[in-house]
């Protein structure tokens, strides 16, 4: 889950928990909102932990040896 999805779940959960005063038969929208906000927070934490691992510094290897190429002009090219 990415940061955008987590923020979306947080916003949707907050709207359901705090702004909606409707009741649907057998479904408490306040509880659904709190569950969505919890999922959003959990998603943000997990995404932050995974991105933290990705950004570890990796030491670069030394470049390969460079070879010097010389052209000989004292030898005639093959015919």
What DSSP string describes the chain?
Answer: --HHHHHHHHHHHHIIIII----BTTB-HHHHHHHHHHHHHHHHHHHHHHHHHHT---PPPPPPPP------SSSPPP-
Helix axes 3-14, 29-54, angle to 10 degrees: 160
Give the pLDDT mean for 10-17.
94
Segment among 14-18, 67-71, 75-79 with least mean pLDDT: 75-79
The predicted structure's pLDDT at residue 69: 75
Nearest by Cα to 39 from 51, 29, 47: 47
Q: Write the pLDDT tens digit of every residue in 24-51.
A: 888 889 999 999 999 999 999 998 888 7
Give this prediction's pTM. 0.62
């Amino acid at each position: 889950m990415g940061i955008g999805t987590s923020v979306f779940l947080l916003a949707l959960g907050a709207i359901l928990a705090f702004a909606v005063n409707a009741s649907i038969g057998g479904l408490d929208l306040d509880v659904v909102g709190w569950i969505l906000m919890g999922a959003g927070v959990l998603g943000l934490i997990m995404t932050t932990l995974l991105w933290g691992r990705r950004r570890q510094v990796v030491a670069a290897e030394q470049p390969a040896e460079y070879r010097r190429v010389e052209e000989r002009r004292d030898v005639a090219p093959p015919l």
